[in-house]
Amino acid sequence: MAGKSPRGFKTAALFTLFFVLLAGIGTVIYCFYLSFEIEKRFSGRRWQIPSRVYSDVTLLYPGQRMNKALFFSKLKDLGYKKVSQPPKIKGEMRFFDSVLSLFLKDVQRPGMRREGYLVRIDLNADRIEAIRREDTREPLDILEIEPEALMLFFGDEREQRRLVSIDQVPEHLIHAVLAIEDNRFFQHPGIDPIGMVRALLTNLRSGSIRQGGSTLTQQLAKNYFLTPERTFSRKIREVLIALTMEALYDKKTILEIYLNEIYFGQKGAVSVNGIGEAADFYFAKSVEALSLDECALLAGLIKAPNRYTPHSHPDAAKSRRNRVLHAMFQEGYIDQKQLKDAISIPIRTAAIERYGKRAPYFMDYLSEQLAHLYPKEVLSGSGFSIYTTLDTQVQRAAENALSEGLKRLENHHPELKRPKREKRLQGGVIVMHPKTGAVLAMVGGRDYSISQFNRITLAKRQPGSTIKPFVYLSALDRLNPASMLSNAPITIMVDGRQWQPKNYKPIYKRKIRLKDALAQSVNLATVDLAMDVGLEKVAKTIEAFGFSTPVEPYPALSLGAFEVIPLELARAYCGFAGDGVIPFPLSLKDVYDEKGTALQRKYMTLNPVTSPSKAFLITSMLEYAVTRGTGRSLSRLGIHFPAAGKTGTTNAYRDAWFVGYTPEVLALVWVGFDDNTSMELTGAEAALPIWAELMSAILHRISGNEFRVPEGIVTEVICVESGQLALRSFCPVVEEEFFLKENKPEMPCSLHAPRFGRQEEGR
């Protein structure tokens, strides 16, 4: 066979050179393209970071009462772990012999910074006696427990990430990652030929890609720019991207991006990405606080996070951690003693913090408010920290009280049971701070998974007798709590038809004190009062309290025969508890961007609707309603602190209400069927017990103080039967009563005055 001519070899060589040059030019052009893409990506927002929603902080102080079950549940949700010995690491707690030892976790988030420390909380039954910081032995007047994560506004990727600067990362962590993942990171140009040859030989022997031999830069290129499939073409692109990245950025920047990008496992359906999120998830610590053994464990996770997770595979995690420690020793990063000490430390991780959409009805309400401030894509990708007014202990108590209360009603009244879950007896609870409008808890229905309809914010129901305090308020310019009202039957013409209101139960007195009429929810006296005052004035008084539903001046208005939204009714009652001022229902406190800059501060909006003295007078009468009126069963249910409130029952028993408050907290409870089926139960029977159970559980919110008496209020001793100033020697039943200074009784009792001789002064 004749050999090829020299001319043929020359032609082949030229063609080869041409193709090599062409490939080289193409590679250079492609790298230029990559450089633009990389710079474009790195110069803008590098990650879509979900915004986090947090509850309010919890404040503890000496003298405060505590519901231990609720508080310990809160600590569990925060990721604190119970231990049998005194706590030694952050995130541990121990309750022994009436002493709670709590090693607070680090808090490093926008708008909130705190280094963890050990505290001792001494309890006496359900009351905090003292709080002390153990490292300094300093007594604390107040202790702040960090807020709980409630929800995240996720994008499509469902990733959690906390960005950290390379300057925040401890040396041990950097050395651990380099030792186990890329020990020549600071020497190679983005690819490591030695590692690549080793991987190539392994892959050729196996006939498939089993080993990547990738550097940290290549791993970053793969995670950040490429899909996870294992092909040779993708590997070539990975190499080119890595080389381009190394040409554009210094090693420190590449390492910082890598540490914020790398995958560290799963938190339910959400992936944990970046060293900042991993430090918090596995150890409840900031990155700066990680110890040597913890750094080694996290570095070991990078290879296979789900295989080496310490939560479910502690033995594998320990073995992998120790391998990292040995690699660090071989590279000279740690000495023999450090190696020995770190290997001897057992695997100790934080409890997995509960995640999910907590307080779902409240979250929906918050989301609606946030939607007016920020687009959805901003919330799901900008890493905001959103702090709310929610008190998770109050929320849990409200959910429990409603759930147990509805079950109890169905058990005691089997006719209320419905086979279809969507047709079952329903309820709603709203808890607010009456002076600021802060929403502490919201339960919009029995089961969010069955019905997402929020009955607190969206339902329109008749308020029944809960509207009566507003009717009585409209009369306080010329009447007072001791004024006498008519309880006689009455017939009123309405649109050409006769309307005859009736009392819920027989009351045979033809005259009744205004105070007793409100406390006992007497319909005839209330209608008489409304007609006397004027229906137009009553309607205007009700409208002034912020109801968005129509209020028409019909006689039945005085008995609550119109519709209200429960949240608006609760807000209106805040006017009585809050010195005559109604607040805006506040769910949002602060919003911070990922750099800690405050973006939105939602200050409370207040609207004066009546005078402090008139508001107090209604409160005083509603206190009487819960001790001597329709709410008197509260004492039997364990409510022994000062409280004011009003029951409500609508026509045909379709709605049952109780709205009650203390100086610090107001709660509304509604019970009924969505389709308006009759329950044959009153507000005192259906709603009031749920309110009592809720309030008995939230001890930390209730001081037990009396309602403050404002200026413009005076006291007088009156005759209960006549409502006039008491003649102490003659009136059989007397009572001290609050009055407006300008509208108090002036005449002594004419009913019991002696018929001859000198009359006694009425004081």
The per-residue pLDDT for range 187-218, each reduced to its tens digit, is 888 777 776 676 666 666 655 554 556 888 88
Cα dihedral 411→414→418→421 (10° resolution): 0
Q: Residue 729: CB partners within 8 Å, gap ≥ 6?
A: 760
Instruction: Check whether residue 412 and residue 473 sit in a common domain.
Output: no
The structure tokens 């006769």 sit at 498
Q: Residue 168: give its domain's CATH number.
A: 1.10.3810.10
CA distance linking residue 437 with residue 459, whole number of Å: 20
Vertex 450: Cα angle to 445 and 456 (nearest 5): 20
Q: What is the mean pLDDT of residues 647-672?
A: 96
Q: What is the pLDDT of residues 102-116, one digit of tens each?
A: 999 988 777 788 889
Instruction: Check whether residue 260 and residue 326 sit in a common domain.
Output: yes
Rounded to the nearest 5°, which phi and psi values hold at 61?
-155, 150
The answer to which of 157-171, 193-207, 393-407 has the lowest mean pLDDT is: 193-207
Q: Which of 322, 344, 366 is the last residue of a domain?
A: 344
Residue 216's closest CA among 249, 240, 251?
251
Residue 513's closest CA among 522, 504, 502?
522
Residue 358's closest CA among 325, 401, 391, 315?
391
Cβ atoms of 619 and 577 closer than 8 Å:
yes
CA distance linking residue 433 with residue 547, whole number of Å: 19
Q: Residue 596: give its domain's CATH number.
A: 3.40.710.10
Range with top average pLDDT, 217-231, 397-411, 577-591 = 397-411
Of all residues in the chain, what percent carry a pLDDT higher than 90?
58
Range with top average pLDDT, 7-11, 98-102, 201-205 = 98-102
Instruction: Check whether residue 332 and residue 373 sit in a common domain.
Output: no
Residue 224's closest CA among 193, 192, 254, 201?
254
Q: What is the mean pLDDT of residues 3-31?
A: 58
For the chain, what is the domain count? 5
Instruction: Check whether residue 369 and residue 330 sit in a common domain.
Output: no
Q: Which has more pLDDT, 234 or 394?
A: 394
Instruction: Check whether residue 668 and residue 702 sit in a common domain.
Output: yes
Q: Which has more pLDDT, 354 or 508?
A: 508
Which residue type, as a one-letter code, is found at position 202? T
The answer to whether position 178 is within a domain reads yes
What's the pLDDT score for residue 188? 84
Tokens standing for 366? Answer: 């918050």
The answer to whether position 169 is within a domain reads yes
The answer to whether position 641 is within a domain reads yes
Instruction: Check whether residue 721 and residue 738 sit in a common domain.
Output: yes
**Strands, E, within 626-682: which ranges?**
644-649, 655-661, 666-672
The answer to whether position 330 is within a domain reads yes
CA distance linking residue 447 with residue 61, whole number of Å: 35
Tokens standing for 508? Answer: 């045979």
Q: Residue 133: give its domain's CATH number.
A: 3.30.2060.10
What's the pLDDT score for residue 26? 55
Q: In the predicted model, is pLDDT for residue 456 greater than 60? A: yes
Q: What is the mean pLDDT of residues 704-718?
A: 95
Instruction: Check whether residue 456 and residue 471 sit in a common domain.
Output: no
Confidence of residue 759 (pLDDT cuts 50, 70, 90): very low
CA distance linking residue 147 with residue 590, whole number of Å: 13
Tell me which residues are annotated as active site. 181, 465
Helix pair angle (216-225, 251-261), 10° resolution: 50
Tokens standing for 26? Answer: 């193409």
The answer to whether position 573 is within a domain reads yes
Q: In the predicted model, is pLDDT for residue 156 greater than 90? A: no
Average pLDDT, the chain: 86
The answer to which of 21-35, 209-223, 224-238, 674-688 has the lowest mean pLDDT is: 21-35
Q: In the predicted model, is pLDDT for residue 758 greater than 60? A: no
Q: What is the mean pLDDT of residues 154-180?
A: 79
What's the pLDDT score for residue 526? 96
Instruction: Check whether residue 179 and residue 285 sit in a common domain.
Output: yes
The answer to which of 485-499, 649-663, 681-695 has the lowest mean pLDDT is: 485-499
Q: What is the mean pLDDT of residues 375-398?
A: 85
Q: What is the mean pLDDT of residues 512-539?
A: 95
Q: Which of 116, 147, 178 is the last residue of a domain?
A: 147
Instruction: Check whether residue 442 and residue 410 sit in a common domain.
Output: yes
What's the pLDDT score for residue 223? 73
Per-residue CA distances from 371 to 150, 377, 389 (Å)? 17, 11, 17
What's the pLDDT score for residue 55? 93
The answer to whether position 22 is within a domain reads no
Q: In the predicted model, is pLDDT for residue 23 greater than 70? A: no
What's the pLDDT score for residue 42? 62
Q: In the predicted model, is pLDDT for residue 22 greater than 60? A: no
Q: Which has more pLDDT, 680 or 182?
A: 680
| 3-class SS string, 556-609 | HHHHCCCCECHHHHHHHHHHHHCCCEEECCECEEEEECCCCCEEEECCCCEEEC
Q: In the predicted model, is pLDDT for residue 294 greater than 60? A: yes
Q: Which of 97, 112, 147 is the last residue of a domain?
A: 147
Give me the domain span that covers residue 132. Answer: 61-147
What's the pLDDT score for residue 244? 76
Q: Residue 143: CB partners within 8 Å, gap ≥ 6?
A: 59, 60, 61, 119, 121, 131
Q: What is the mean pLDDT of residues 700-705?
A: 94
Instruction: Check whether residue 195 and residue 286 sit in a common domain.
Output: yes
- C-beta neighbour count of 27 within 10 angstroms: 13
Q: Which has more pLDDT, 378 or 373?
A: 373
Instruction: Check whether residue 83 and residue 213 sit in a common domain.
Output: no
Q: Which has more pLDDT, 226 or 92?
A: 92
The answer to whether position 2 is within a domain reads no
Instruction: Check whether residue 401 and residue 493 sit in a common domain.
Output: no
Cα dihedral 271→277→280→281 (10° resolution): 10
The answer to whether position 33 is within a domain reads no
CA distance linking residue 50 with residue 377, whole number of Å: 10
Confidence of residue 35 (pLDDT cuts 50, 70, 90): low
Q: In the predicted model, is pLDDT for residue 369 greater than 50? A: yes
